[in-house]
Amino acid sequence: MTLLSEILSYNEDFVSQKKYEDFSTTKFPDKRLVILTCMDTRLVELLHKATNTKNGDVKIVKNAGAIVSHPFGSIMKSLLIAVYELQADEILVIGHHDCGMSAIESASMLEKIKQRGIDEKTLETIKYSGINLDEWFQGFDHVEESVEHSVKMIKQHPLLSNDIPVHGLVIDPETGKLDLVVDGYKN
Ligand SMILES: [Zn+2]
């Protein structure tokens, strides 16, 4: 059985047994909050347990590292949609210790890409199109600095209303402990 067929078969039971009923809610966040966090596997449930949020409470945006790397990329767009269309009044950026993005070296990432059959010529073509892959793949050194940077990118965005607090936190992926990096009420 493939992973996909396993998921689909489980899903049939889930729906037929009406297990979805426990999760019934609306698309608007009851806590009027949007969280940007990392895609890390350890946070899938832990983040919600540790922040006392559940289905229906928050909008969640995830990527590798909880990083806002471009002011007009999909992450920023999602945050703006959460604020203007979906009633989120506060933004929380939650990075975490031991993040995969803190260990990413672009050179080693590009080496792995080559080993999987992407040829040098393709990388050269991308380079000559003006895309700096070294910069694009580079991770961060300190999670606190990365969270501060993401908070700043969001807070200073020309399309974000001034009255939206943007907070920055770091979570421990083992214990769920949160450390405050930026108190958005004070900025
Ligand atoms: Zn991470």
What is the per-residue pLDDT for 51? 97
Residues 6 or more apart whose CB falls under 8 angstroms from that of 49 comprise 176
Domain count, the chain: 2
Give the domain range for residue 91.
Answer: 30-103+141-187
H/E element, 179:
strand 178-182
38 annotated to bind ligand: yes
Instruction: Let me know whether 124 and 54 are in one domain.
Output: no
pLDDT for res 95? 98
Task: Answer yes or no: do 53 and 34 share one domain.
Answer: yes
How close are the terminal C-alpha atoms of the chain, in Å?
53
- Residue 20 is assigned to a structural domain of this protein: no
Average pLDDT value for residue range 33-50: 98
Give me ligand 1 centre to Cα 63, in Å. 8
Q: What percentage of the chain exceeds 70 in pLDDT?
A: 99
Tally of CB atoms within 10 A around 166: 23
8 A C-beta contact, residue 133 and residue 110: yes
* Structure confidence by residue, pLDDT tens digits, 98-153: 999 998 888 999 999 999 999 999 999 999 999 999 988 888 999 999 999 999 99
Distance 38 CA to ligand 1 centre (A): 5
167 in a known ligand binding site: no
Confidence of residue 80 (pLDDT cuts 50, 70, 90): very high
The answer on 40 and 93 residing in a single domain is: yes
What is the distance between the alpha carbons of residues 88 and 94, in angstroms, rounded to a whole number? 16
What mean pLDDT is predicted for residues 9-36?
96
Residues, CB within 5 angstroms of ligand 1 (ion):
38, 40, 99
Indicate whether 14 belongs to any domain. Answer: no
Compute, in angstroms, the gap from residue 158 CA to the centroid of ligand 1: 27
**Residues 115, 57 share a domain:** no
Residue 21 lies in a domain: no
Query: Which CATH number belongs to the domain containing residue 59 in this structure?
Result: 3.40.1050.10
Which amino acid is residue 98, in one-letter code? D
Per-position DSSP letters for 90-137, written without gaps between them = EEEEEEETT-GGGT--HHHHHHHHHHTT--HHHHHHHHHTT--HHHHH
